[in-house]
Amino acid sequence: MIGTVMANVNPSAVEQEDFLDHLFSTVYSTYSLLGIALNITLLYLIVTHKHDCIREYRILLGNSTCTLLLLSFLTFFLQLRFVVAGDSLGYVCLGPARFLNMPLLVLFCTSLMLTIDIYSFMTIAMCMVYKYMTLVGNSPSEKRLLVGIALFFLIPLSTGIALLIYNPNYAELHEILERLRPELELSRYGNYSGLPNVKNIYVMYLIVVICCIGVSSYIVMIAAGLKVSSRVRLALVGF
């Protein structure tokens, strides 16, 4: 009798996970939809604003806004929950991607989302470099800006392509996770995505790219900021 009462009082691991899934999904949805709405509004203002101080930065500001908009879309689409077991990593989707039954697409989008999260800082660094170039009178054309943006976007895109080339064995992944984490009953999530072994060159490439983007972006922002402040200070002294 006491055991039955205790069983009713203490929820099972699956019930606890279901509660956390609903909680995480609510938070994911709220913040990602808010991000989508704000970035669409900002993009509208960038496109329609006619003031000269905005016009010359329109392409780069639009690039930053579109990057953050894509990040918000991917976050809402995936709503990832990571499950770790040994050297294996599972990507359990709580968002709309869960109903597509396309683990390769989830793998690509996950890599793209993780990289774009850091790549957004690089778009800010681009704006700062452009500001310095305009101060020294070497402003690039719109065509060169668009080509540069497209080439830089190939960096985060390449991480997703690398994992598609890796093409992990999902049957092996499911077997490992369900053997090592049976209490989670992951089979209820369908054909979830992930990596059966994170110790491979493709995952290493993803990590290296993310670290390089983050470190280089901050170095460029600091250097460009110092250069811009120096030019402005010299201009004020000359004035």
pLDDT (tens digit, 9 = 90+) per residue, 147-163? 999 999 999 999 999 99
Tell me how many domains the chain contains.
1
Band of pLDDT at residue 75, cut at 50, 70 and 90: very high
Torsion of CA 127, 130, 131, 135, to 10 degrees: 180
pLDDT at residue number 36: 96
For helices 142-166 and 201-238, the axis angle rounded to 10 degrees is: 160
Q: How many CB atoms lie within 10 A of CB 37?
A: 12
Mean pLDDT on 85-91? 88
Torsion of CA 96, 100, 102, 106, to 10 degrees: -10
> Does 11 score more than 70 pLDDT?
no
In the beta sheet, which residues pair with residue 80? 93
Q: What is the DSSP letter of 89?
A: E
SS3 224: helix
pLDDT at residue number 59: 87
> Does 5 score more than 60 pLDDT?
no
Q: How far apart are CA 110 and CA 203, in angstroms?
A: 12
Cβ neighbours of residue 181 closer than 8 Å, sequence gap 6 or more: 83, 85
Specify whether the backbone of 79 is left (phi greater than 0), alpha (psi in -120 to 50) or beta.
Answer: left
Q: What is the DSSP letter of 189?
A: G
Residue 191 is part of a domain; what is its CATH number? 1.20.1070
Residues spanned by the domain of 162: 2-238
Least confident of 9-18, 183-192, 228-237: 9-18
> Does 6 score more than 70 pLDDT?
no
pLDDT at residue number 184: 79
Pick the residue with more confidence: 47 or 76?
76
pLDDT at residue number 185: 81
What separation, in Å, do the N-terminal and C-terminal C-alpha atoms of the chain show?
A: 88
- In the numeric block, which tokens belong to residue 234? 């010299």
> Does 2 score more than 60 pLDDT?
no
Q: What is the DSSP letter of 182?
A: G
Q: What is the DSSP letter of 92?
A: E
Q: pTM of the full predicted structure?
A: 0.86
pLDDT at residue number 3: 44
Mean pLDDT on 57-84? 92
Task: Let me know if 223 is exposed, middle or buried by CB neighbors in 10 A (0-12, 13-18, 19+).
Answer: middle
- In the numeric block, which tokens belong to residue 215? 């470190």
Q: How far apart are CA 60 and CA 62, in angstroms?
A: 5
Give Cα separations from 193 to 51, 171, 175, 207, 208 (angstroms): 47, 10, 12, 18, 22
Mean pLDDT on 186-200? 86
pLDDT (tens digit, 9 = 90+) per residue, 115-133? 999 999 999 999 889 888 8
